[in-house]
């Protein structure tokens, strides 16, 4: 049984990690454990680099909290200004004893009303809840789900990045 630690209690992130591992390694048996650990970055990371650091810190901190797992997965959502707009994305970092797998999700641009609230100090999820009259959307379909009419929800969005972060573990001889 392969033990995987998900560095989050968010059900969306847990399901994305589970989906990614099961798709990449369909003949394996897994045990998934979630743990809440600090990201070491702002609650709302405001750059690509800060978001990446948050995901890596989560994976590293989970490995300090629970020592005997095969993999540790950190997912961090972030935003970054681009010209007069703001893009949203997430980083996924998967850590094993001697390797890091890393991937970034696709990027999408945030509506102006949401950007305005973020610039006033709100996190993306809280701003989405205000603009779209939702409650705790970041633990459900998230901004990407709201904006695509759930064609791509937050779980699907993260799952693809988890799969890409697992490439070094599926192709060990190449990495």
pLDDT of residue 70: 98
Domain at 2-105+153-174, CATH class: alpha beta
Please state the domain extents for the chain.
Answer: 2-105+153-174
**pTM, whole model, 2 decimals?**
0.94
pLDDT over 70 at 139, yes or no: no
Binding-site members for substrate are 68-69
pLDDT of residue 136: 74
Q: Who wins on pLDDT, 138 or 117?
A: 117
Distance separating alpha carbons of residues 6 and 3, to the nearest angstrom:
10
Phi, psi of 93 (to 5 degrees): -125, 125
pLDDT in tens, 65-115: 999 999 999 999 999 999 989 999 999 999 999 999 999 999 999 999 999
124 contacts 44 by C-beta, under 8 angstroms = yes
Torsion of CA 48, 23, 150, 10, to 10 degrees: -60
Token pair listed for 86: 């703001």
Binding-site members are 68-69
Binding-site members for Mg(2+) are 68
8 contacts 38 by C-beta, under 8 angstroms = no
Distance separating alpha carbons of residues 168 and 17, to the nearest angstrom:
16
Average pLDDT over residues 23-35: 98
């Amino acid at each position: 049984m392969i033990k995987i630690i998900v560095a989050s209690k968010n059900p969306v992130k847990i399901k994305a990690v589970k989906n990614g591992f099961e798709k990449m390694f369909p003949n394996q048996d897994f045990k998934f454990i979630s743990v809440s650990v600090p990201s070491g970055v702002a609650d709302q990371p405001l750059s690509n680099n800060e978001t990446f650091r948050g995901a890596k810190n989560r994976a590293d901190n989970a490995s300090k909290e629970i020592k005997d797992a095969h993999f540790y997965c950190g997912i961090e959502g972030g935003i970054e200004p681009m010209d007069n707009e703001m893009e949203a994305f997430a980083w996924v970092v998967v850590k094993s004893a001697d390797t890091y797998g890393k991937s970034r999700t696709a990027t999408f641009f945030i509506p102006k009303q949401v950007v305005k609230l973020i610039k006033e100090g709100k996190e993306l999820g809280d701003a989405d809840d205000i603009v779209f009259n939702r409650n705790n959307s970041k633990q459900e379909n998230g901004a990407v789900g709201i904006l695509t009419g759930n064609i791509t929800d937050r779980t699907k969005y993260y799952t693809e990045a988890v799969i890409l972060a697992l490439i070094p573990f599926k192709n060990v001889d190449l990495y």
